[in-house]
Amino acid sequence: DTGVSQDPRHKITKRGQNVTFRCDPISEHNRLYWYRQTLGQGPEFLTYFQNEAQLEKSRLLSDRFSAERPKGSFSTLEIQRTEQGDSAMYLCASSFRQGHSPLHFGNGTRLTVT
């Protein structure tokens, strides 16, 4: 499978715990995005990487959230001290930098905070 891969598919955690998600983009893609989607809403932009550089972060991304893309390939999104409001689907997408390349999305990680 050469699409965007996300792991785990589901995560259930207790409030206050830390969680980390992983995204493996399509290998030739140098742009990587994280989005969050709650029920009945469209995806909301969280952050963007070009290669290993994090170039944009949404105001939605509180200081409990951190994302990395250390070698410009896979990326991780960590949420510290989870809250019930963090329950959502976390989507990763990647694209080429050149031109108007569409974003290709992974199947997401569904987080439930109890």
Partner 1 sequence: EDKVVQSPLSLVVHEGDTVTLNCSYEVTNFRSLLWYKQEKKAPTFLFMLTSSGIEKKSGRLSSILDKKELFSILNITATQTGDSAVYLCAPRSGNTGKLIFGQGTTLQVKP
Q: Which stretch binds partner 1 (CB under 8 A): 12-20, 65-73, 74-82, 91-99?
A: 91-99
Q: Closest separation between CB of residue 72 and partner 1, Å?
A: 16
Whether the ω angle into residue 70 lies within 30 degrees of 0, i.e. cis, is no
User: b/e per residue, 13-48, with b = 16+ CB within 10 A?
Assistant: beeeeebebebbbbeebbbbbbbbbeeeeebeebbb
* Cα–Cα nearest to 114, from 11, 8, 7, 6: 11
Per CB under 8 A, the list member of 20, 45, 74, 80 interacting with partner 1 is: 45
Show the site string, 13-42: x = touches partner 1 by CB under 8 A, - = not: ------------------x-x-x----xxx
Binding site for partner 1 (CB under 8 A): 4, 31, 33, 35, 40-45, 48, 50, 55-56, 91, 95, 97, 100-108
